[in-house]
A = this chain, B = another copy of it.
Amino acid sequence: MFILDNKGRQPLHDKIYNQIKNQILSGQLPPATKLLSIKNLSAELSVSRNTVEYAYQQLYAEGYIHSKPRSGYYVSLIDPEFLPSSFSHIGMTPRKVSEDRIVYSFDFHPACLSSESFPTNLWRKLYIESLQEDSEQLAFYSDQQGDFALRSEIQRYLAHSRGVSCDPEQIVICSGLQDSLSIIAPILKENHSTFAVEDPGHFMPKAVFRNHSFAINPIPVNSEGLDLESLQKTNSTVVYVTPSHQFPLGYVMPVANRLKLIDWAETVGGVIIEDDYDSELRYHGRPIPALQGLHPGANIVYVGTFSKVLSPALRVSYMVLPYRLLTIYRKLFSDYSTNVSLLDQRTLNKFMEKGNWERHLRKMRTIYKRKHDELIQSIHHHFGSKANIIGQGAGLHVVLELVGNSLTEGELINRARDRDVQLLPISGMYFNNTGRDPQIMLGFGRMSSNEIDRGIGLLYQAWNL
């Protein structure tokens, strides 16, 4: 029911837009409700069709409604961020709109790569070659564990650049961390029920293992990474760690601790899941070899990805299973198919085989090192002693700790957004969120030199430090 007043300076189409928007937000128009047709609503309101169409276009562009061909417009599910709490009675949990959809002038989101990260021209060439050579193979289901030639390339790369010791037969090509973990969880389920994770830590391992009915044990992180004493006090027998670059704090686990962690696993019959997600990107000092290489016979699952240096939208990663778990994998997963396109695997194989992967790595390391160093310099310049930098020297982000600041994370992020600066909250990665100075993740992958310095300057202003 529409009531259109003719007062006020607001254009008619804005009034219609606002009224429908409010009815959607308040739950008066629940998701999947069909809107009146443009023709009917314009007749009802005695306005031109263009006016109604303009309002609908606006609602459509903002995601409040969507169209079904030959049917009309319908109310969409709405992002909870935009919903008043009164909407919750409808019983829908609307979808998290992925944050990369909103374009900010200064984007410090840590999961964004440089626009140079994807070698478009070379990929095109190699993909076309694969399409030519392997199109016969597209009529069949491909190898469930992944293309053997690609696995051999990955084995070679891991051996000489990460110190990982394995056989191509131990490698499973996956479509990202969620895929690897969704395979690991059922494999471990038989003998394990409690899963230890870093606190703060990556959100995904918790989600996957929870979906496989594991109890989750958060283990605090200190400047040497996962706190081993805390781990030993729990009843967990499976642990997810990021020893070479703790996510999100960036700490490195020293070798002595790595050996202790392996000892722990041997003692309790435990399993270590080592996520080496961005260890290629180390800008100062020597690269830190993987934990797995210290004791290849131990129950360590090594997980790596192409998402941080090539593209997170390509969905290719890999894991290395110790032989004991490989046996269970082959028992439980023999009826599964791979999640990864054969053409992408073949293209990637060509990319690695011809040395392009390592060349690309060197190139990206140089690009990101420059951005990283500029970011550090800019933070020192603008913030001086008002902020500490945590986890510098590697990866695609650092963590900024604001000394003695009393703004909440929400306030920090909102003030930044008001100046067109995008930040990802870190609090969701903590189980225990109290008793620390506010922290902000600063991803630099996407930013130009100029943007980095201007963005940091804007943050300093926005926060009135």
Interface residues of A (CB under 8 A from B): 31-32, 66-69, 74, 76-77, 91-96, 98, 100, 111-115, 117-118, 120, 123-124, 127-128, 131-132, 135-145, 148, 152, 155-156, 159, 167-169, 175-179, 182, 186, 189, 203-204, 206-208, 210-213, 307, 311-316, 323, 326-328, 330-344, 445-446
Instruction: Known contacts A112-B140, A140-B112, A155-B68; decide if A94 and B340 are in contact (CB<8 Å).
Output: no
B residues near A74, Cβ cutoff 8 Å: 167
Q: Which 4 A-B pairs have the closest CB atoms?
A: A313-B342, A100-B140, A207-B335, A186-B211
Nearest B residue to A141, CB-CB: B312
B residues near A117, Cβ cutoff 8 Å: 138-139
CB distance from A445 to the nearest CB of B (A): 7
Whether B143 and A98, one on each chain, are in contact in the complex, defined by CB atoms closer than 8 angstroms, is yes
Q: Give Cα A233 to B241, complex, Å.
A: 47
Whether A92 and B323, one on each chain, are in contact in the complex, defined by CB atoms closer than 8 angstroms, is yes
Q: Give Cα A369 to B193, complex, Å.
A: 51
Total copies of this chain within the assembly: 2
Report which of B77, B138, B206 forms a contact with A118, defined as CB distance below 8 A. Answer: B138
Q: Give Cα A141 to B69, complex, Å.
A: 28
Instruction: Known contacts A156-B69, A323-B32; decide if A176 and B124 are in contact (CB<8 Å).
Output: no
Instruction: Known contacts A312-B140, A314-B138, A337-B176; decide if A32 and B331 are in contact (CB<8 Å).
Output: no
Nearest B residue to A69, CB-CB: B156
B residues near A312, Cβ cutoff 8 Å: 138-142, 337
Whether A207 and B175, one on each chain, are in contact in the complex, defined by CB atoms closer than 8 angstroms, is no
B residues near A145, Cβ cutoff 8 Å: 95
